[in-house]
Amino acid sequence: MAVSGMTARGAFIVFEGVDRCGKTTQTQRLVAALQSRKVDVELCRFPDRTTATGKIIDSYLKNGVELDDHAVHLLFSANRWESAQAIRKKLAAGTTLIVDRYAHSGVCFSAAKQGMDIEWCKAPDAGLPAPDAVIFLKLAIADAMKRGQFGEERYEKQDFQTKVLDNFMQMKTDSWRVIDAKRPIDAIAEEIETLALDIINSCADKPLETL
């Protein structure tokens, strides 16, 4: 029960999926929809390419620099740690955060490479704020490849994305909300808005967990 006079905390809602599944489109749509309902909400995304680690990650993704696979994995995790305290503060102050990728992307992309398994990849994220809900936009790789700009960044290759999708399916728990991302944008947005309102209501009284 929320104690009267205290602010209900915000929800930490993370969107995941393979490249081009529609995360950016849907997180932006959701934030606009929630704002029009007067929900206190903010959009975040990982990697956050604006920070010190984010700039190196951006250059790596655009094929500008080469980095050891382990090192870049740790940078992606560090990029989340840079925001961890701000995330906790905002949630505690009642702001709901809609997040475009988070730790599951970190694990599923790195573990698609040679020599790094899921357990090794999960370790550096242990202790980060855990999402209240993961909304997984499920899309076949063949369909993702038909979408705009596929193939411009380092990881946007069919074989690699197929491994990433397998990893997501391996990590998926019963609590993930799986959305069929092949449908029209409006239909997906409508389903997600209902889902998000439900998540926001149900986690207001629950403590935030950690990974």
Binding site for Na ion (CB under 5 A): 24
- Residue 104 binds to ligand T5A (criterion: CB under 6 A): no
| Cα–Cα distance for residue pair 63/68, rounded to 1 Å | 13
Quick one: what does residue 207 bind among ligand T5A, Na ion, none, with the CB cut-off 5 to 8 Å set by partner type?
none
Helices (H), 93-184: 103-110, 118-122, 141-145, 158-171
Spell out a b/e string for 95-128, using b for 16 or more CB atoms within 10 Å of the CB, else e. Answer: bbbbbbbbbbbbbbbbbbeeebeeeebbebbeeb
Length of the chain: 211
The one among 155, 157, 204, 208 contacting ligand T5A by CB under 6 A: 155
- Residue 54 binds to ligand T5A (criterion: CB under 6 A): no
Q: 160 vs 208, which CB is nearer to ligand T5A? A: 160
Give the CA count within 13 Å in the CB-facing half-sphere of 92.
8
The one among 13, 14, 21, 30 contacting ligand T5A by CB under 6 A: 21
The one among 12, 14, 47, 124 contacting ligand T5A by CB under 6 A: 47
Stretch that binds ligand T5A, among 16-24, 36-44, 85-93, 193-201 (CB under 6 A): 16-24
- Residue 75 binds to ligand T5A (criterion: CB under 6 A): no
C-alpha to C-alpha distances, 67 to 50, 81, 93, nearest whole angstrom: 19, 20, 38
Using CB under 6 A, list all residues that contact ligand T5A: 17, 19-25, 46-47, 61, 76, 100-101, 105-106, 109, 147-148, 153, 155, 184-185, 188
